[in-house]
Amino acid sequence: MTSVAYQGEYASNSATAAQRLFPGCAELPCTSFEQALDAVTLGAADVAVIPVDNSAAGRVADVHHLLPESGLFVVGEYFLAIRFDLVGVPGTSLAQVEQVRSHVHALGQCRKVLREGGWRTLITDDTAGAAREVAELGDPRHAALAPPAAARHHGLDVLRAGVEDDPDNTTRFVVLSRHADFAPLTDEPTMTSLFFAVRNIPSALYKALGGFASNTVNLTKIESYQMGAGLNPSCFYVEIEGHPDENRVALALQELHFFSSEVRVLGVYPAHPHRLREQTS
C-alpha cells in the first residue's frame, strides 16, 4: 500500500487528490508543506501530493523554494476540479451565519458569496480544518467554506453548494518522491521540471532561456528566487513541455548548461490529460 503525505486534514482537497492518484492509499496528513516533504525524505511516506497552482488564486505552495534542497523528485501531476460548499452545524440557516472561516485561498476563490452574505471572515490553516472547527464549535453563527467531503466527514449541513466564483476552478498538484522515477521517452506528452542557477554574467538569463525559444520548447512555468543573502545569482525553477531525450529539448538543455553554473533535472513525468483539454478548448 502506498503511503501519501499531504498538507491538510482528512477530507481536504489534497486528500481527495491523493485518493484519486493512489486509490486505497495510507494517508499521512501534515500541518505544513515542509512537514509533508520531510515525511517523504525521512521515509515516513512513499510520496507527497502537493498543490502548486490554482487557476483562480495563482501559486499555492512555494515548491520551487522547497524542492531543490529537499532531494525529492517530481514523478507526476494531477489537476483537480475544486468545489467549495458553505457549511454549518445541522439546522443552521443562512440568516444565522455571522462569520465564515476557511483557508486564505478558499476565501479568495469564493469572494462573490462572501460579498453577498456580508459575513466576517476568519483565515484557517486548512479548508477541511475549518469544517472541523465549525463542527466543534456547534454554533450556528459560524460557517465554513470547505470541500463537499469535509461536510460529510464532520456531519455538517450544506447551506449553499458550489459557491466557488469560477466553475472551472482547478488546482494542479505534483507528486514528489525520493526516487528519480523519470518517465521514458514515448509518443505521449511529457513534462520536465528543472532547477538552474545562471552564471553571474550580463544577459545570462536571456541567453540561458534562448535555447528553449530557438528549439521551439514551450516553458509552462518559471519561478525565480535567491539562494542565501547578498548578490548571489538568481536561481530558477522551470517546467517545460517535452522529454530531455528529445533532440529539440536536448539542444535547449545544452545551451542552458552553457550559461548556467548549475542545472538539475527534478522530474520527467507524463503530462496530465487536463493539459490537452486546455490546449484544444
Length of the chain: 281
Q: Are strands 26-30 and 3-7 parallel, antiparallel or unpaired?
A: parallel
Q: Do 277 and 168 contact (CB within 8 A), yes or no?
A: no
Residue 178 DSSP one-character state: S
Residue 171 designated active-site: yes
Closest by Cα among 56, 55, 169, 163 to 112: 163
Q: Do 87 and 134 contact (CB within 8 A), yes or no?
A: yes
- Distance CA(150)–CA(168), nearest Å, equals 20
Choice among 84, 173, 195, 196 that is catalytic: 173
Q: Do 143 and 119 contact (CB within 8 A), yes or no?
A: yes
Rounded to the nearest 10 degrees, how much is the dihedral formed by the CA atoms of 236, 28, 40, 81? -30
Query: In this structure, what C-alpha cell is assigned to residue 220?
Result: 509552462
Q: Do 87 and 148 contact (CB within 8 A), yes or no?
A: no
Choice among 92, 124, 171, 192 that is catalytic: 171
Helices (H) and strands (E) in the chain, counts: 10, 15
Element (H, E) at 29: strand 26-30
Query: In this structure, what C-alpha cell is assigned to residue 118?
Result: 456580508
Active-site amino acid positions: 171, 173
